[in-house]
Structure 1
C-alpha cells in the first residue's frame, strides 16, 4: 500500500531537511541557495551546519515551512541529483 506524505503530515508544516556532503566550497551556503529556489523565504537564520569530527563532511539542516508534498518532492529530487550531496534525511 502506497501512502502519500499528505497521509503522514498536514501542510503547511515546519520541515527540517538534513543534507550531508563534503566540507568544501562553503557547502552550507551552496545548499541554502539550492533549497531557496523552492522555498524563497530561506535565509541564513534557517541554516545550521555542523562538521564531522575529522572535518571531512558537513551536515546542513535547513528549516522552513513546507507548503506541499510536491514542494518537498521537488527539493528532494533536485538535491538527490547533485553530485555534492551524499545523503538526504
Structure 2
C-alpha cells in the first residue's frame, strides 16, 4: 500500500487561505494584519474576517494572500508563532 502524498501547491498561488488563532484581545486583528503585510503586502484587509470562539477566550482571523513560495509561508508562520500571541496557524 502506497502512502498518499499531500497535494502540491503551484506558486504563485492566488487566494491562499490562512487562519490565525490566538487569545482574544482588542488589538489581535491589527497585530495579525500588520504581521501579514510584511510578508504579503497585497493583503486585502477588506476581506479579513474575525470570529470569536464560543466562550470568547480565543479569536480567529481569516484571510487570503497570494502565496509566492514556501519560503514566504514559512517566514510568515515563524513570525506569527514567535510573537507568543498566536496559538495556531492553519
TM, length-normalised to structure 2? 0.84
Partner residue, 1:70:
71
1:56 deviates by: 1.3
Partner residue, 1:12:
12
Listed as ranges, the gaps of 5+ residues in structure 1 are none
Aligned length: 84
Q: Retained in 2: the 8 A contact 1:32–1:43?
A: no
Cα RMSD of the aligned pairs, angstroms, is 1.6
1:30 deviates by: 1.1
Listed as ranges, the gaps of 5+ residues in structure 2 are 1-5
Cα deviation, 1:68-87, whole Å, max 9, x if unaligned, reads: 11111110111121111011
TM, length-normalised to structure 1? 0.85
